[in-house]
Structure 1
Amino acid sequence: MSAWAGLDILPEQRLLLFCIRTRLDAHARRCAQELAARRDLDWSRFVALAIRHGVAPLAHAHIDALACGNMPAPLRGELETRNKAVAFRNLWLTGELLRLDRAFAAKGLRPVWFKGPVLAQQIYANVLMREFSDLDLFAPPDRLGCATRALKACGYEPVHALASSRHERLLRRLSNELCFVNPVSGVCVDLHWALTENDYSFAARAPLATCAIELGGRSILTFSPEETLCYLCFHGSKHGWAAFRHMSDVADFIRRRPDLDWERLMSGRLPIGAPRMLQLGLVLARASLAAPLPPAVAAWAESDRRVCAIARRIRARRDLPATLFEPWTYLAVMPRGDRLRYLAAAVLRPTPLELDAVLLPDRLFFLYALLRYLRLARKYGLTLFTRSRRAGPPRATGPEISPHRRGSGLRRPRSAP
């Protein structure tokens, strides 16, 4: 049975999913070429989808072999222009990572880099093949102060100014990362002291295993393969698997790592994330991108009916706003005891925005929750009021047009709260 049986998705999406596979068998290649030859294929939508899903480099690398000359030259040029812009940014960020790693080493620090150019090198052995827009590094809590000082010495400043040491302690208590930016280059670096908030049962409790990879002629420390795969599935679930990039990261990482310790991963003792997050990532990678899972692993991943139902809903999406599914997919794969905690934190947990607004004494800490609630009410209440005023009285309209077929443009995702 076809992997797409019963799924009413756009032909442009199906073609894009073929284009971002790093390996195609004869049957998959023939299916992709048949899709590319369809007269009703909207190539402008294909390019827009590739850009929105963050897979333009992969689409650009494979479309010529699959499209067989059917792609209009102007749109091929648009995809090539995007690919060149991504390549320039990736090389710039890779050079900045190497500069920072040398600066940290000079101070006796060995940071753990993940995502960004490190993940691109792990998956494709080529930093140009995966889109990324910033750098991520991990430092354990006891080395966080040293890492912060090292970043500042390299010209970086925290996006949210820490007014005092107490302000900094509050942020560490409430969050798991702090964003730094270089005001000259505009490069952003996310400094993590945990990979998720410590409130959840699936947060990493023990030190995460690391390994070294070579990047730009330098040995760079990153998380071990099993830790990386679990993090990719956690990260994809947190973002609702809204972008094809999340699926391709998992699928191609598995292709590059046939020696993964599957017994450890299937045992449920995951370094980070919940078992359903890992299962969902594996099901999506196998069903959408033919990830080569061992039979026992595929059976384990597909043994959870709830996971399979969620995966089917995700794969059936068309070009919907990326943020629409984020919290609900994440909630669905969380352990039950963490769901209420997540919902309460989304509304009541203070963020750097509230900490920047006012610095309250310890005895009034509870007022931060009220401040966040009022800020969210003002932000979204004002948005709804403005929209209702603009809408005006009901007007007669013609036949309803499906939002998935209104031209080739894609709606811009709404920002997270």
Structure 2
Amino acid sequence: MTMEMMVEKKHFSKELKLLLFFLESKFEDKDLSKEKERFKDIDWEHFLQLTLHHRVYPILYKRIKKLNGEFVPAKVLGTLQKYYQKNIFQMLMLTGESESISRIFSEQRIRTLFLKGSILGAHLYGDLSLRTSSDIDILIPIEDLERAESTLLNLGYVKDDYILTVLNDWKWRHHHITFMHPQKNIKLEIHWRLNPGPSWNQSFEDLWERKKESSIADFPLYVLGEEDLFLFLVSHGARHGWSRLRWLVDIDRLVIRDLDWSCIKKLLKKYQLTQVGGQALLLSSELLNSYSPPELKEISNSKKSKKMAEGALFYIKQLVNLHVEPLPEEIANYHKSHLFLLMSFKQKVLFILSFLFPYPEDALALPLPKALHFLYFPLRPFLWAIRRKRKQAMLQEDVT
């Protein structure tokens, strides 16, 4: 651990330290009679708030229940039980819908890989009730996107993500479209790539070839192979600043499986995720006492991985919710900087060059016939300057 991480951890609240204690990889092996100091002067309302924010209440409920009323107030256990039971219903509903979607897509000859969600809960935890999820995430080949959308609309889903695009930039700037079912109150995301640009993404064919079948349902539900799942989980968690401890618990559960670490090391390098993988392993090891594979020790101990791990503590020690916009200016600026830090040199170059590619806002500012959209390339600097000037003028008006 770096000195900066040690200092940051010292500034964690007692409630956050207790939460991390409960989430530790080998919590069941601990003698709690020697840990009584941890439970003194705890603000249990804040502890619950942290538990709900980090989406780890199913595991907390199971572990606190085994204490038989010791250390933790009954009211806290009762609240956790309420959320745990609600989560069981949610996971069963999402699993049933996932099976239904898989059947229908199969009939349409649309290959599907399920990401995260209730299926991941069953796959990693052996119990779908131990992981929370609010939606269904499916990866499909991009060429099947139009048919998948049509199928979902016929099933009563409503397209929620109407992506503005110019010159087909949606294909690489974005990575999923969101649908909502108003009657079932189910959110479903269709992905055509695992990560948004700028990023190197594994091809669907490679992922499909290495897929695994989940045993959670009668009809086949396919998930990513273990090594591909590791890459996806570390890139997803990093992109969200590890602002939910649930994602680190996923890593903790995954690293104890029989993974091919030499294969993972090659994949991390190939897809420009080496230091992101190191960040995940370092955070999981230091915060949850997770297994740290010796094959990747050089990566997790690298200077950049340590710096990235230090940066993630900003999100973990606070109740940062990146899904609620607009973000406070301080958090928004920090997140932009952290995302840039996560990038490899090649990704940073690609990211900077992407600003030269026209944005949908350019087409809104100066509508042109589709045949003339190529003119947005030379016009982009001028359109950007005009929009910036207008924004500054509006800010000055608000001040006055």
TM-score tier by shorter-chain length is 0.7 to 0.9
Residues 1:326 and 1:343: Cα distance change in structure 2 (over 3 Å) = farther
Residues 54-96 of structure 1 show CA distances to partners (whole Å, capped at 9, x for unaligned) of 1111111112335853333333322222222222222211111
Matches within 5 A, 1:310-329: 310-315=308-313, 318-323=317-322, 324=331, 325-329=334-338
Contact 1:101/1:111 (CA < 8 Å) preserved in 2?
Answer: yes
Letter in 2 for 1:23: K
CA distance in 2, matches of 1:384, 1:246: 41
AA of the residue aligned to 2:111: R
Q: Give the corresponding residue for 2:100.
A: 99
AA matched with 1:131: T
Q: Distance in 1 between matches of 2:268 and 2:242?
A: 23
Structure 1 residues 350 and 122, CA gap change in structure 2 (3 angstroms): farther
The 2-side partners of 1:344 and 1:60 are apart by 48
Distance 1:132-1:304 versus aligned 2 partners, 3 A rule: same
Report the equivalent of 1:82.
83
Aligned mate of 1:305, from 303, 308, 314: 303
Q: Is the 8 A contact 1:18 1:32 kept in 2?
A: no
Alpha-carbon separation, structure 1, partners of 2:389 and 2:216: 46
Q: How does 1:38-53 map to 2 (within 5 A)?
A: 38=40, 40-53=41-54
Deviation at 1:383, TM superposition (A): 8.9
Match of 1:406? Answer: none
Rounded to whole Å, the distance in 1 between the matches of 2:356 and 2:64 is: 44
Residue number among 338, 348, 361 corresponding to 1:339 in the alignment: 348
* Counterpart for residue 62 of structure 1: 63
TM-score relative to the length of structure 1: 0.77
Cα shift at 1:158: 1.7
SS of alignment partner, residue 220 of structure 2: strand
1:215 alignment partner, SS class: coil
Q: 2:273 aligned with 1:289, yes or no?
A: no
Tell me the residue number matched to 1:155.
156
Alpha-carbon shift at residue 305 of structure 1 (Å) = 1.7
- Please tell me the residue identity of whatever aligns with 2:341: A
- The code of the aligned residue for 1:337 comes to K
1:262 to partner: Cα distance: 0.4
8 Å contact kept, 1:179–1:189: yes
What residue identity is the alignment partner of 1:13? L
- SS at the partner of 1:307? helix
**In the alignment, is the contact (CA less than 8 A) between 1:53 and 1:243 conserved in 2?**
yes
AA partner of residue 293 (structure 2): P
Task: Give the counterpart letter for 2:317 in structure 1.
Answer: R
Contact 1:57 1:83 in 2 (8 A): yes
Tell me the secondary structure at the aligned position of residue 178 of structure 2: strand
Partner amino acid, structure 2, of 1:335: S
Per the alignment, do residues 48 and 344 of structure 1 end up closer, same or farther by CA in structure 2, a change over 3 Å counting? farther
Deviates more, 1:86-95 or 1:69-78: 69-78
When residues 263 and 315 of structure 1 are mapped into structure 2, their CA distance, relative to the original with a 3 A threshold, is same
Partner residue, 1:116: 117
Of Structure 1 and Structure 2, the greater helix share is in 2
Aligned residues: 379
Identity rate of aligned residues, in percent?
21
1:213 matches 2:222:
no
Paired with 1:378 and 1:134, the residues of 2 have a C-alpha distance of 38
Decide whether the 8 Å contact of 2:166 with 2:359 is kept in 1: no
Q: CA 1:281–1:380 in 2, change beyond 3 Å: closer, same or farther?
A: farther
For the residues of structure 1 that align with 2:385 and 2:84, how far apart are their CA atoms? Answer: 41
**Distance change (3 Å), C-alpha of 1:338 and 1:162:** closer
Matched, 1:35 2:44: no
Q: Which residue of 2 aligns with 1:235?
A: 236
The offset of 1:233, in angstroms, is 0.4
Distance 1:368 1:102, change over 3 A: farther
Alpha-carbon separation, structure 2, partners of 1:74 and 1:63: 12
Which blocks of at least 5 consecutive residues in structure 2 are unaligned?
A: 323-330
Say if 1:307 and 1:160 are closer, same or farther in 2 by CA, change over 3 A.
closer
C-alpha change, 1:373 and 1:44, in structure 2 (3 Å) is: farther
**1:259-318 deviation line (CA, Å, top 9, x unaligned):** 201011223555755101111111111111122233333x22333022123323434752
Counterparts of residues 131-142 of structure 1 (less than 5 Å): 131-142=132-143
Matched with 1:254 is 255
**Could you tell me whether the CA contact under 8 Å between 1:238 and 1:327 is conserved in 2?**
no
Q: Distance in 2 between matches of 1:369 and 1:58?
A: 51
User: Helix, strand or coil for the counterpart of 1:363?
Assistant: helix
